[in-house]
Amino acid sequence: MRGSIDGLGSPAPIGRMLPAVFADDDLVQRFVGGLDDVMAPVHCVLDCLDAYFRPSLAPPDFARWLGDWVGAETDGTEAEPMVRAAVAAAAHLHRIRGTRRGLAEAIRLVFGTEPEITESGAANWSARPLGPVPGEPVPRLHVHLRLRNPTTADRHRLEALVAAARPAHMPYTVQVTAGEVVERTSTP
């Protein structure tokens, strides 16, 4: 957590900005010196404010807050590098949310492995009207994830992730099994 830092000097001491009549007054200088101690961290934050909005540079607690702000898919238990990656990928994932690709990338980001996704949908183009409708008549989505050492928490996390990133109308099932992991990292 950020806070005051002992001995942090202010880049703009108030005592130097006072009228000459107060420049030699010890009580006034000590009083505004206390204000400088309080304001010094604010000046430091404002001097490097752009770094606070870069997930790779932001302080860890601010990166978590930024994740809530941009809607990153985190549950609060992730390690710091995972939070930073989720915040950095949030805008990209929101653009492709509700698609098979978006779901796969969200799962890869959290679990670091490639999911097997089967769905009932399809797309087709025809120059003639009333052509056959592609896909299956009943919507379905199944996500299978292979992990080295799966736990119950992994299944619950996958279920929450699929519920949030799937198309809104699509019923779904998830499955987590032990097996050979297909690792792949994706950068949006």
**Is residue 8, in this structure, part of any structural domain at all?**
no
| pLDDT tens string 94-127 | 999 888 999 999 999 989 899 999 998 888 888 8
**Is residue 19, in this structure, part of any structural domain at all?**
yes
DSSP state of 49: H
Q: What is the band of 3 on the pLDDT scale with cuts at 50, 70, 90? A: low
Total of domains in the chain: 2
Percent of the chain exceeding pLDDT 90 equals: 40
- Residue 4, pLDDT above cutoff 80: no
- Residue 184, pLDDT above cutoff 60: no
- Residue 143, pLDDT above cutoff 80: yes
- Residue 166, pLDDT above cutoff 70: yes
Question: Which residue range forms the structural domain that includes residue 166?
Answer: 114-122+137-180
pLDDT mean over 20-25? 88
Tokens of 69: 């702000």
Checking 2-8 for CB contacts under 8 A at 24+ apart, the result is: 2/41, 2/45, 2/59, 2/61, 2/62, 3/41, 4/37, 4/38, 4/40, 4/41, 5/40, 5/41, 8/37, 8/40, 8/41, 8/44
**Is residue 95, in this structure, part of any structural domain at all?**
no
**Is residue 26, in this structure, part of any structural domain at all?**
yes
pTM, 2 dp: 0.68
**Is residue 151, in this structure, part of any structural domain at all?**
yes
| pLDDT tens string 59-95 | 888 899 999 999 888 888 888 999 999 999 999 999 9
Q: What is the pLDDT of residue 134?
A: 84
Percent of the chain exceeding pLDDT 70 equals: 93
Q: What is the band of 44 on the pLDDT scale with cuts at 50, 70, 90? A: confident
**Is residue 131, in this structure, part of any structural domain at all?**
no
**Is residue 168, in this structure, part of any structural domain at all?**
yes
Checking 162-168 for CB contacts under 8 A at 24+ apart, the result is: 162/103, 162/107, 164/73, 164/106, 165/73, 165/93, 165/97, 165/98, 165/102, 165/103, 165/106, 165/107, 166/98, 166/103, 166/141, 167/98, 167/99, 167/141, 168/98
Average pLDDT, the chain: 86
Contact assessment for residue 162 and residue 103, using Cβ atoms and an 8 Å cutoff: yes
- Residue 2, pLDDT above cutoff 60: no
